[in-house]
Structure 1
Amino acid sequence: MEPTAHSQKKASTPSIPETAEDLALKLNIAVRNSNIKDVLELLEKGADVNSKAGCGWTPLQSAVQANEEDLVRLLLDRGACPRARKDNGGTAFTEAAIAGNVTILELLLDCGLNINDHDDNGFTAFMEAAWYGNEEALKFLYSKGANVNLRREVSEEKAKLHKGGVTALMDACRRGHVSVVKTLVQEMGADVNICDNKDRNALIHALKEGCARERYQSAVSIGHFLLDHGVDVNSKDECGKSALILAVEMESSDLVEALLEKGEIDVNDADEEGNTALVVAVEKNNYHIAEVLCKKGARTDVGNLIAVANRNRAYNMARLLRQYDARFVPETLKDWEPNSKRWRDQLECLYKMYRPMICKLKTFQFFRLRIQNTSQGGIYLGLHGETEVAVRISRSTEGEKEKRFFEQCGTCEHLLKLFQFEKARGYMYLCFPLWEKNLEEHLQESEDQIDYKDAVKMIFQAVRELHSLGYAHQDLHPRNFCIDLGGKIYLADFDNKRKLIEGKKELVNSDLEALGRLVLYVLTGGRKPLQQVSTEDLAADSADYNEALDLVSSLVSHDERGLEGLSRHPYFWTKQTRFKFLKSIWNKIKDLQNRRAVFQASNATASFPYPRWTKEIDRDVLKIMKNPRKVKPLKYSNDVTDLLRFIRNLDEHPDSRISEIIGDHAEYFLELFPALTIYVYNTLRQNPEYSHFADIQEPSL
């Protein structure tokens, strides 16, 4: 039969080729459906094995999520990239840990992956395995070198919000995986006392979820296990709740009693709202726990406990509380205004909240009241009486050593001083006058004009004072310089890196080099990190540029003058002092038989920077100076001695015609010859016969 015209037209219509996007979409669908046949066909048609679907998922990642080992092998053989990342930074490797498939983990690890690689939220494969309770995957990753105690890395923005820092153990605790927790601690040596960026340890993570019915029993089991393995019971959650308060919220009598048996916990500790464990027990109407707490000395004058019990119609609870002297006593606070501008809100909050007093000190070891992190722990806000203080908390033995050091600083003007100290329960509370910012924050955040020279002076003085006590600092970082409300700078050493000098010149030299970098950091306004700043970052048009450059060079080269001599460096001189210095030199050398020998015989390597200085002087000024009134004409050559003579003559014999042209003499010459002061100073200083000419008395430091 003959074909119709319609059928002929249909047969001749060419098929539309599939685009790369079409093939990629179909490939990802085939993978998600675990259809190996379709996957092979699409790859043969040219589908991109590394194409991405929604949220950045690649075919390999989808195959791993589906737990399809054969499909994973196929895609790897066809060139799938195991390092490809989803939009959240996750890889096929982290997906394999979530799935818990050891075979796939091994396949991917054989591709040369970094076992501790993490996604954008800081999750490693090891952490994912812990979070999802995949114990076999966890053991495999540990055997291959996964870092058990790695803390979650997050972006700088998230870190500022105190996010991140969580470990695999904390994840397992939070999710209630009892067996995984035991494996991590007993077999892998996980540290039970590492804290995240909100200062929460594994115990807090376990108890945070304990109020949920499905997590209660696992939280109790994990809590007891951690207590048996030396966990710190004084850690708090992001709301300032201690482990004891969280255990009361869970209404776990066993955990409450176990925590109190440790003898290390303060039964009267309170959260940021001032609620103690007893307050929580009364609110929850848990008579047994309330009784246990009262017997352990819980205060009954915190919170309106009787009113709470009456509101709950808990008459037995009210009777119990009255047996332990609970009374209604309204609390009234007198008006109080903190001096600090930066810490005003936190200090007002601390003033109003209930905190158990440590003699005269009121403080709260809570991240929102933490003003600085150190390797030895945090520094926290406190009130000693009504004086605003910064509080360093340490064990009594270490605290005694620190106290002795800070007491030596009592007579020093720019070393941080000890204000008061208190002792309680084996801890030392060192109290310092509260500072507003550290130097790093001051430079980067200040909206006001900063006097850099004044800052460098105070920094110099601080380091000199520390050296005079016999210590080298060894960590001259901007964060170790505190600035009070009046702008005064103090040097601190909260990381305990200082060392006794005891004749070890290399320690002093190390401080000098660090001071050189610090000076550059200050003079460049902290625009670059300390270790990246260089002399190239100095503003060449600055009035102090040449002096600053020489000062930094002298520090870095361990100049024999040391800090004492360098404290009289021309950088610290005022403009008027520099000008007077230049004028004075001619008076000192004018009667010498060979004046030019003062500079020619020098050991200085620098050449005179203005060999044609007469061409740079204003032509009319030079003409007037060469032809003074009632005096025979003068000649000036282009050497340094005649320039000094010219400066001296012009200033000592003022002429109104010249003043109208150049204005202030000091301003004029220092701007016209900015490198002259440091050249003359160094040339004289390096000439043994005339070095005393460079000595001037400048009360700058």
Structure 2
Amino acid sequence: MELNTLNSKLNAAVKNRDKEAVLELLEQGADVNSQVDSGWTPLQTAVQNREKDLVELLLDRGACLHARKDNGGTAFTEAGIAGNVEILELLLERGSDINEQDINGFTAFMEAAWYGKEEALRFLYSRGAEVNLRRKTSEEKAKLHKGGATALMDACRERHFSVVKILVQEMGADVNIRDNRDRNALIHALKKGSSKKRYESAVSIVRLLLEHGVDVKSKDECGKTALILAVEMESPELVAALLEKDEIDIDDVDEEGNTALMVAVGNDDCKIAKLLCEKGARTDRGNLIDVAKRHRSLSMENLLREHKATFVPETPREWEPNSKRWRAQLKELYQMYRPMIGKLKIFPYKQQEIQDGIYLGLHGGTEVAVRKTLSAEGDKEKEFFEKCSHCEHLLKLFQSEKEKDCVYLCFPLWEKNLQEHLQDPGGQKDYKAALKMIFQALRELHCLRFAHQDLQPGNFVIDLGGKIYLADFGNKRRSIEGQEELVKSDLEALGRLVLFVLTGGRKPLQQVGIEDLAPNSPDYSEALDLVQSLSSRDERGLEGLSQHPYFWSNLSRFNFLKTIWNKIKDDPNKRSIFQDPVTKKTFPYPEWTKMIDKNILHVMENPRNVKRTKYSNAVTQLLRLMRNLDEHKDAEISKKIGDYAEYFLKVFPKLTIYVYNSLRRNPMCTHFADFQDPSL
């Protein structure tokens, strides 16, 4: 029988608590330390099943105490969850560490507290488990303020009152330790809502913590005080208990500016609102009467008026959006009443839609574009956007909010997409600058090991400053690990997009062709070569084609041409590449001496105080003349033709790409084509 099959059967036998089958499979050669789904070993499974005999048997047969599951959990941490004291004792005798932690920093003691295993908790404490140990986690998670919780916080969060009582009264657990989000045990006790099943436990836990001096001024990660959380739980008992503490600031606000009374009125909770008002909560914040009227709650309105609240007509505040394109819709959104989703204000209807499925929003006052997704997709998207945080031309996530089973992804607002930009009749279009950014965006995505697979003009968005970002609104990107063919298909699509840009978006993307390029347009030869290179899956790839002569400035092209003569003049073999029958035949200016300004040719052939020279129609002679003219400038010629680069590229527009490709295709000179334009 194959080893994998034996190992699989061994794990199944342990799950089925079949000791005889386990012994038989071990005799047949099954690996006692084999791991199955998520890294579970037979020993860990036996511990989970609370089968002490099997645990002992496996240990005697060489099972590793310290083997870890994918989450870093060991047999001992699993025993903390199971809560079996005999197994915990056995594992300690065999060498387990009382305070060993999994990847997320959980110890067996913390697990016992989380799952409410009182007997196991007392046993572990008696053997030296650290009661106030804070969860240690990776440096990356710590930067995200994860970790740092204690066993007491776990018991409070899971509302195990008896465990909380043991930890505080018998073991001296510190009620004021803070986790990495600065929350103490009180905040954890109030964080899980008001489910009937655990409501009474929450009240008992909070009262116990208050009796033992817990800091009532602690806040959660959203700035909500214990009092605000108690109001959200709709618990008059907890609100009353907290209000008995003199140090409570009844009017403290969360990061959205809400007080406890504002939350109570928003929830139409008259009982709690009455408690707060009688304790002196301010009624002049948040236009409470207006909120009560929206709920059509006369009792709430009467209560508020009794405590001096008044209706204040809302005066539209002067606010001017940064966006010019979306100014009217943003002002309308700003002024309308909308229930907030966290810090997000959104009205997901047609008049606020800026692109298919993308809506205007205000997140904490910042103008954003919002995409609504289901939670599973939204969480996956957030994970991808975290990888984009350091990229210059990939659309970044600004913030996100969650409501029920939906995630709202908020992006910095853009003014238009690429198609709208190209078809806008106003203003000059810098196609080269746009394509530089488009190339860089795709390079950044490929560096993250993703292919885009949907390079549509609508997926490139442009901000107020003209900067272009690549988005993926259709969520079609794919990992390129082991699928390099996807990169090549991106390059072909990029070739079509280049044509679309260079032709000003006059035709739909799928209909535009090379014949639509205007032959007399600037950079025509370079643009044509770039598109053909992309379409032919050129071996240079995206990285190499990002340095293509199309992107070079005129000065760089001129410098490239004039320096080639210096590199080949003393080597007949190198000069001969331009004498190759194919290369010579394709030289676009076989009679260039008749095309150049006659005065330039005359001056260059008859230099002052130097022997007369003669230039032939060979390409090398044209390069030589360009180099000599630039190095020995003539005032008369300069006055006549102006900028040398502009002149030569206008007279010989196909020269750069001809020389570049001639060099690139010759193994002896290909490195001469690796010219670096400083602007790139």
User: Secondary structure, in 3 states, of the residue corresponding to 2:388?
Assistant: helix
Any unmatched runs of 5+ in structure 2? 1-266, 274-285
The whole-number CA distance in structure 2 between the counterparts of 1:437 and 1:460 is 19
Residue 478 in structure 1 maps to residue 461 in structure 2: no
Cα 1:605–1:586 shift into 2, 3 Å:
closer
Quick one: which of 441, 446, 468 aligns to 1:462? 441
Contact 1:523/1:538, CA 8 A, preserved across alignment: yes
Amino acid of the structure 2 residue aligned with 1:550: D
User: Structure 2 vs 1, CA of residues 558 and 510 (structure 1 numbering), >3 Å: closer, same or farther?
Assistant: same
1:651 maps onto 2:630 in alignment: yes
Secondary structure (helix, strand or coil) at the match of 1:487 reads: coil
Runs of 5+ consecutive residues of structure 1 not aligned to the other structure: 1-292, 310-316
1:305, CA displacement in angstroms? 8.2
1:492 corresponds to which residue?
Answer: 471
8 Å contact 1:602–1:687 — kept in the other structure? no
User: 2:7 is matched with which residue?
Assistant: none
Maintained 8 Å contact 2:289/2:311: no
Q: Is the 8 A contact 2:577 2:666 kept in 1?
A: yes
Structure 2 partner of 1:371: 354
Task: Note the C-alpha offset of 1:321.
Answer: 5.8
- Taking the TM superposition and a 5 Å limit, the aligned residue runs for 1:19-418 are 304=290, 319=298, 322=301, 328-330=310-312, 331-373=314-356, 378-418=357-397
State how far apart, in whole Å, the 1-side matches of 2:294 and 2:338 are: 20
Tell me by how many angstroms 1:320 deviates: 5.1
Superposition deviation, residue 623 in structure 1: 1.6
**Residue in 1 aligned with 2:206?**
none
CA distance in 2, matches of 1:621, 1:394: 66
Q: Does 1:511 pair with 2:490?
A: yes
Q: For residue 552 of structure 2, what is the aligned residue in structure 1?
A: 573
For 1:523, the aligned partner's letter is: L
Distance apart, 1:426 and its partner CA: 1.9
CA distance in 2, matches of 1:318, 1:632: 104
Question: Which residue number in structure 1 is paired with residue 426 of structure 2?
Answer: 447
Describe the shift of the 1:379–1:626 C-alpha distance in structure 2 as closer, same or farther (beyond 3 A). same
Cα distance, 1:534 vs. partner?
Answer: 1.2
Measure the CA separation in 2 of the matches of 1:690 and 1:447. Answer: 45
In structure 2, the partner of 1:48 is none
Preserved CA contact (<8 Å) 1:294 1:324? no
In structure 2, relative to structure 1, the CA distance for the partners of 1:363 and 1:590 (3 Å cut) is same
Aligned residue in 1 for 2:617: 638
> Over residues 86-131 of structure 1, what are the superposed CA-to-partner deviations in whole Å (9 max), with x where a residue is unaligned?
xxxxxxxxxxxxxxxxxxxxxxxxxxxxxxxxxxxxxxxxxxxxxx
The 3-state SS of whatever aligns with 1:530 is: coil
Counterparts of 2:482 and 2:579, CA distance in 1: 37
Post-superposition CA distance 1:431-490 (Å, at most 9, x none): 100001010111112511111100000000000000010111000000000100000000
| Matches of 1:512 and 1:602, distance apart in 2 | 32
Which letter maps to 2:347?
Answer: F
Q: Greater shift after overlay, 666-675 or 595-604?
A: 595-604
Q: 1:325 to 1:556 in 2, by over 3 A?
A: farther
Q: Structure 1 pair 324/440, CA: closer, same or farther in 2 (3 Å)? A: farther
Q: How does the TM-score come out when normalised to structure 1?
A: 0.54
Q: Deviations over 1:317-336 (max 9, x none)?
A: 77456378697532345432
1:432 pairs, out of 384, 396, 411, with 411
1:357 is paired with a residue of what secondary structure?
coil
Distance across 2 between alignment mates of 1:524 and 1:318: 62
Matched residues in 1 for 2:270 and 2:374: separation? Answer: 24
Structure 2: how far apart are the matches of 1:520 and 1:660? 38
| Paired residues of 2:288 and 2:311 also in contact (CA < 8 A) | no
Alpha carbons of structure 1 residues 303 and 537: separation in structure 2 relative to 1, 3 Å: farther
Cα distance change on mapping 1:403 and 1:502 into 2, 3 Å = same
Distance change in 2, residues 1:585/1:318 (3 Å): closer
Aligned length: 397
Q: Which residue of 2 aligns with 1:139?
A: none
Q: TM-score, normalised by structure 2?
A: 0.55
Deviations 1:147-204 (A, max 9, x none): xxxxxxxxxxxxxxxxxxxxxxxxxxxxxxxxxxxxxxxxxxxxxxxxxxxxxxxxxx
Cα distance in 1 between the residues matched to 2:429 and 2:289: 47
Q: Residues 472 and 307 (structure 1 numbering): CA distance in 2 closer, same or farther, change over 3 Å? A: closer
Any idea what the Cα deviations from partners look like across 1:232-289, whole Å, max 9, x if unmatched? xxxxxxxxxxxxxxxxxxxxxxxxxxxxxxxxxxxxxxxxxxxxxxxxxxxxxxxxxx
Cα distance in structure 1, aligned partners of 2:553 and 2:475: 36
CA contact (8 A) 1:603 1:687 kept: no
Summarize the Cα distance change of 1:379–1:653 in structure 2 as closer, same or farther, 3 Å threshold.
Answer: same
Instruction: Label 1:305 to 1:571 Cα distance change in 2 as closer, same or farther (>3 A).
Output: closer
1:429, CA displacement in angstroms? Answer: 1.1
Q: Is the 8 A contact 2:574 2:668 kept in 1?
A: no
Q: Give the partner amino acid of 1:432.
A: F
CA distance in 2 between counterparts of 1:653 and 1:553 reads: 38
* Backbone CA RMSD of aligned residues: 2.6
Alignment partner of 1:677 out of 641, 653, 656: 656
Which stretch of structure 1 is more off in the superposition, 528-537 or 587-596? 587-596
Q: CA distance change for structure 1 residues 554 and 657 in 2, over 3 Å: closer, same or farther?
A: same
Amino acid of the structure 1 residue aligned with 2:341: I
Amino acid at match of 1:527: R
Q: Is the contact between residue 595 and residue 641 of structure 1 (CA under 8 Å) also seen in structure 2?
A: no
1:695 aligns with 2:679: no
